[in-house]
Amino acid sequence: MAKQRVLITGISRFLGGHLARRLEQDPDVGEIFGVDLEPPSVELARTEFVRADIRNPLIVKVLQATEVDTLVHAAVIATPGRAGGRAQMKEINVIGTMQLFAACQKAEKLRKVVMKSTTAVYGSDPTDPSIFPEDVGPASHPRTGYAKDAWEVENYARSFGRRRPDVGLTILRFANFIGPQIDTPLTRYFSLPVVPTALGFDPRIQLLHEDDAIEILVRATREQHPGTFNASGDGVVYLSQALRMAGKIAVPIATPFMNLLGSAVRQTGLVDFSPEQLQFLQWGRVGDVHRLKTMFGYTPRYTTTEALRDFITRSKLAKVFSEEQAEQWEKDLYDFLARLSRRRSAPDAAKV
Amino acid sequence: MAGAEVIRIQDGRRADPQLCRGRTADGRPCRNRAGASGYCKRHEPGAGRAATPAPSRFEADLERALAFLRRRVTGAYAIDDFGFDPDLTENVLLPILRPLFDRWWRVEQRGLENIPASGPALLVSNHSGTLPLDALMMKLAIYEGTGRHCRLLAADLPFRLPFVGEIARKSGNTLACAEDSTRLLDAGEIVGVFPEGYKGIGKPFRERYKLQRFGRGGFVEVALRTGAPMIPVSIVGAEEIFPMIYNVKPLARLLGFPYFPVTPTFPALGLLGAIPLPSKWIIEYGEPIQTAPFTPDAALDPMFVFNLTDQVREAIQQTLYKNLMSRRSVFF
């Protein structure tokens, strides 16, 4: 049987790069091509880098020349900062994907498309069910930013899937990534010295460890898993809880001021606070991972809490206080109060 | 999480000859410097006081409270996918309600044996009292009576509100929708539902104890699909806590609330008027209505669902009348 030929978009990014590296080690994978505007950040041995813009009609030629049978589309950008503005980001995400799938339609050798999407397509809203299964949509789909892009991009992928039933389409809706190496708005958020949160709200968050994310992408590329899957570690944590585990101090801010602060922080470029992220900070979101575990057949090695702990210990976050300190405080406080109470009760006992 | 125990720092210290060999009230090694006998002054054998006095109640409570605080500060507790935080609920939220339950409303429970010790059940209750305090009392009642947590289904308004939504979620409640309730019942939880919704809780005082329409019977469909028994719950007493004599609709519309109550004391007495009246409460759990004998397809038959809804409603209404008759007065 001919070896698998894979094209990866977004090769310069963490997941695209690491996917290519894992595929390189697999003897059953033939040639690997990586498309992006920037060269890969991960060191790659036999992956061929094609500097191309997926928005350019040239992408048709790339697809035909490389004769790939598998396409991994991991180029959808989550933050406007990376692309140089929201307009540019939307251009790359939506128009780029449109072009890419238009090109795919003509690629006759293509048999499989794997798309990296996000649970952000479910939005964050108090009127939605607590846990999203893949086939039940939210009451209203996100209308702004990355989440809207991701939803539109998924729609292009689905309509491509309908036009080319011979191509197996896998859509992976990833929860927030976390890990010692990956750089996301969330990891940067956790690295802030004091962390702004929404006053009176505590969102549930779901996390996927970077190692599990790579493993899921590899399996989706190598195996046959057509369908849409939520991908996250088991379980959820509250944001407040996660911050306490990380030993951070949360600064609750009334929501009307959050937007103001958001735009101020955006100027600094440290953290990207977009409106849909502010919504996320109020209500969070949780996807149902049952299908990933049963149909896709992979249970992430890290649960949400374990992934978070691994991130906290291995990325050496600056903690304001540690567990050991908390234990010491507990002990000291106990000894102090117990002694105090005994001293107070001793004279009473003497009276009797 | 299993890691929620107090971790005692013992090893290594025992071997230290510099430290006292005695133990503190709760059995921890004493951390004081030892004298010639190997004990500190407090734990000197034969000293006036016992070397290890029995831990007082205060000390046991203190240890529990501090362990709880440490868990909260370090995030060492587990929540489920719905956001239910048992550690917080059992140690803070329910204890806050206990004085209201025991002293203020002196809640009496009847028919506790109808609640299964394990497995799913859908508690269907009447709803009243202007503020959903009856729901909170039912939650505490179930916990006191059976040790199980009742997962209440609420409208979306509380989840929109800051603080309220957060606490509602952390105490195990969720949005009243078919997806969530099905998921909870499939997981074998006790789920509490108030099908009257705002029509019940916000009804005027003159209509007290008259059950309103039971929604659209969605709860019956969920029970049929999951095979969970439905247990009718009748709460007497909650109607009188805030007797609503008038509903200021324009103000309610302005604030985005389903109603704006005027009671004999609110808003006339300001915040004082927000103190609920100390009526006497009776919560009665009726005979379970089994849904397991029916196939899940029965949920597709609207007439059948309608009849079953009526059956539950009738059971609650009859028990309400019965308990009202047996009540000596509103307050005793």
* A338 contacts B59? CB cut-off 8 A: yes
Integer angstrom CA distances of residue A278 from A262, B90, B183, B189: 8, 31, 28, 32
The residue type at A332:
D
With contacts defined as CB-CB under 8 Å, which chain B residues touch A235?
Answer: 78, 80-81
Give φ, ψ of A309 to 5 degrees.
-60, -40
Of B160, B170, B180, the CB nearest to A130: B180
Provide ipTM, 2 decimals: 0.88
With contacts defined as CB-CB under 8 Å, which chain A residues touch B81?
Answer: 130-131, 204, 235-236, 286
What's the 3-state SS for chain A? CCCEEEEEECCCCHHHHHHHHHHHCCCCEEEEEEEECCCCCCCCCCEEEEECCCCCCHHHHHHHHHCCCEEEECCCCCCHHHHCCHHHHHHHHHHHHHHHHHHHHHCCCCCEEEEEEEHHHHCCCCCCCCCECCCCCCCCCCCCHHHHHHHHHHHHHHHHHHHCCCCEEEEEEECEEECCCCCCHHHHHHHCCEEEEECCCCCEECEEEHHHHHHHHHHHHHCCCCEEEEECCCCCEEHHHHHHHCCCEEEEECHHHHHHHHHHHHHHCCCCCCHHHHHHHHHECCECCHHHHHHHCCCCCCCHHHHHHHHHHHCCCCCCCCHHHHHHHHHHHHHHHHHHHHHHHHHHHHHC
Of B58, B81, B165, the CB nearest to A201: B165
- In DSSP terms, B153 is beta-bridged to B174
* A200 contacts B83? CB cut-off 8 A: no
Indicate the fold that domain B86-241+276-326 takes in CATH. Glycerol-3-phosphate (1)-acyltransferase (3.40.1130)
Contact between A158 and A187 (Cβ < 8 Å): no
**Distance to chain A for B287, nearest Cα, Å:** 30
* A323 contacts B179? CB cut-off 8 A: no
Chain-centre distance for alpha carbon B299: 29
Q: Nearest residue on chain B to A137, judged by CA atoms?
A: B179
**Distance to chain B for A286, nearest Cα, Å:** 7
Of B69, B70, B156, the CB nearest to A126: B156
Residue A106: the pLDDT is: 87
Domain residue ranges in chain B: 1-78, 86-241+276-326
Find all residues with CB under 8 Å of B50, minimum gap 6, and list them.
none
**Distance to chain B for A326, nearest Cα, Å:** 6
**Distance to chain B for A277, nearest Cα, Å:** 17
- Nearest residue to A281 via CA among A310, A264, A306, A259: A259
Residue with structure tokens 């362990």? Answer: B67
The per-residue pLDDT string of chain A (352 residues; one tens digit each, 9 = 90 and over) reads 689 999 999 999 999 999 999 999 999 999 999 999 889 989 999 999 999 888 888 888 888 899 999 999 999 888 776 677 788 888 888 999 999 999 999 898 999 999 999 999 998 888 889 999 998 767 677 777 888 889 999 999 999 999 999 999 999 999 999 999 998 888 988 988 888 899 999 999 999 999 999 999 999 999 999 999 999 999 999 999 999 999 888 999 888 887 777 777 666 665 666 777 888 889 999 999 999 999 999 999 999 999 999 999 998 777 777 778 888 888 888 888 888 888 877 655 544 4
Half-sphere exposure of A349 (CA within 13 A, CB side): 8
- In DSSP terms, B174 is beta-bridged to B153
Find all residues with CB under 8 Å of B159, minimum gap 6, and list them.
A126, A127, B165, B168, B169, B175
CA gap B193, B176 in Å, rounded: 8
For chain A, what's the residue count?
352
Chain-centre distance for alpha carbon B244: 25
pTM of the predicted structure, to 2 decimals? 0.86
Find all residues with CB under 8 Å of B63, minimum gap 6, and list them.
A334, B6, B26
Integer angstrom CA distances of residue A151 from A141, A284, A305, B120: 8, 17, 28, 36
What's the 3-state SS for A69-117? CEEEECCCCCCHHHHCCHHHHHHHHHHHHHHHHHHHHHCCCCCEEEEEE
Of B72, B73, B180, the CB nearest to A129: B180
The per-residue pLDDT string of chain B (332 residues; one tens digit each, 9 = 90 and over) reads 444 554 444 444 444 556 666 666 556 666 666 666 666 656 665 544 444 556 688 888 888 899 999 999 889 999 999 999 999 999 999 999 999 999 999 999 999 999 999 999 999 999 999 999 999 999 999 999 999 999 999 999 999 999 999 999 999 999 999 999 999 999 999 999 999 999 999 999 999 999 999 988 899 999 999 999 999 999 999 999 999 999 999 999 998 899 999 999 888 888 888 899 999 999 999 999 999 999 888 999 999 999 999 999 999 999 999 999 988 888 88
With contacts defined as CB-CB under 8 Å, which chain A residues touch B25?
Answer: 338, 342
Residue with structure tokens 């935080």? Answer: B85
Of B67, B166, B183, the CB nearest to A131: B183
B interface residues, A as partner, C-beta within 8 Å: 6-7, 9, 24-25, 31, 53, 56, 58-59, 62-63, 66-67, 69-70, 72-83, 85, 156, 159-163, 165-166, 169-170, 174-175, 177, 179-180, 183
Omega of the bond prior to B229 within 30 degrees of 0, cis? Answer: no
The predicted-structure confidence for B141-177, as pLDDT tens digits, reads as follows: 999 999 999 999 999 999 999 999 999 999 999 999 9
With contacts defined as CB-CB under 8 Å, which chain B residues touch A341?
Answer: 56, 58-59, 62
- Nearest residue to A9 via CA among A47, A211, A229, A147: A47
Of A326, A334, A345, the CB nearest to B62: A334
- In DSSP terms, B110 is beta-bridged to B284
Q: Nearest residue on chain B to A349, judged by CA atoms?
A: B49
CA gap A157, A73 in Å, rounded: 10
Residue A327: the pLDDT is: 84
Per the structure block, which two tokens stand in for A193?
A: 């010295």
With contacts defined as CB-CB under 8 Å, which chain A residues touch B174?
Answer: 130
* A341 contacts B58? CB cut-off 8 A: yes
* Residue of B74, B174, B180, B183 to mutate, interface with A, max A Cβ within 10 Å: B74
* Residue of B166, B170, B184 to mutate, interface with A, max A Cβ within 10 Å: B166
- In DSSP terms, A35 is beta-bridged to A9, A50
The gap between the terminal CA atoms of chain A, to the nearest Å, is 94
CA gap B175, A233 in Å, rounded: 23
